[in-house]
Every structure is written in C-alpha cells, then in structure tokens.
Amino acid sequence: MRMSDLVTQQILAMLEQSSDSIAEIRRNELAEQLGCVPSQINYVLTSRFTPEQGYIVESRRGGGGYVRITRVKVDRTTALMHIINSIGSELDRTTARAILMNLAEQGIVDTRSAALIDAALSEKSHASVPPALRAQLRAAVMKNMLLTLI
C-alpha cells in the first residue's frame, strides 16, 4: 500500500472516531507516527481532503500549530449543486473520477448512477471528439448528468 493511502486511512479513521466529524492532527507528529515526511501529509490533505470531496481543511502555524479536517455534512441537493458549480468549463478524467467516487462513497449518488456517468465521461466515449475539446465536453456532460439527479 502506498504511503498516501496509509495517511488517508489514518485521517479517515480519526474522522470516523470523532463524534463531530472533525479531526485535528499535528503534521509532524503524524508523519513521525507513520514513518513519512511532513510534505506527504500536505500532499494528502491538498489532494484527498478538498472541498469538492466534502472536507474543510484549516491550519494554524506555530509551536502549537495543528491541522483541522472537518467532514462537511450537507443534503444531497446542496452537495450536487456545490459539485456542479465547482466544475468550471473543463474537467479532466482523473478529477471527474475522483468526484464520482466521493459522491458514491458519501451515498449522494448510487453506485449504478456513478458507473453510468463514469462510462459517459470515459476516453472511449469521447474518442471521436478532438482531444483539445474533450475536457470541455466532459465538464458539460458531467454537469448535465448531475443536474438530472437533483
């Protein structure tokens, strides 16, 4: 298992144990505990605990500094509208897949719907579209498919 996966699992476990869906970590202490460098903690926080994935990350620097990760609980419609509004005019395949996985994990979109949307966004589905336009098409398709789920 990759180090980033271990860091993610550790943070998710802390969130699960918390009654208020908040985990506070000290970056250096967590890095030491897991046997990695603090920059790996930063990488995980910026790539896997984003607002689009349903998290708020706050940090306080200094001697008593900490990082606070909060799992945001919102209703289905609000979550879908937030995702739709955050997509923008272009969407790469990796980000699209991450959004869908997060929506499915949170139960906002059922796994069948997520699989259907994923298929519609695949490179195979867009093979006849010029590569320069695929990210724009993917964003438009994703937004419209999520709108139909509201």
| Domain residue ranges in the chain | 3-71, 76-148
pLDDT for 64 equals: 61
pLDDT tens track for 113-129: 999 999 999 999 999 99
Under the banding of pLDDT at 50, 70 and 90, the label for residue 63 is low
Q: Was domain 3-71 assigned CATH 3.40.50.150?
A: no
Q: Is the pLDDT of residue 48 over 80?
A: yes
Q: What is the pTM of this model?
A: 0.60
Is residue 38 within 8 Å of residue 78, measured between CB atoms?
no
What six digits make up the tokens of 27?
């970056």
What is d(CA 146, CA 63) in angstroms, rounded to the nearest whole number? 44
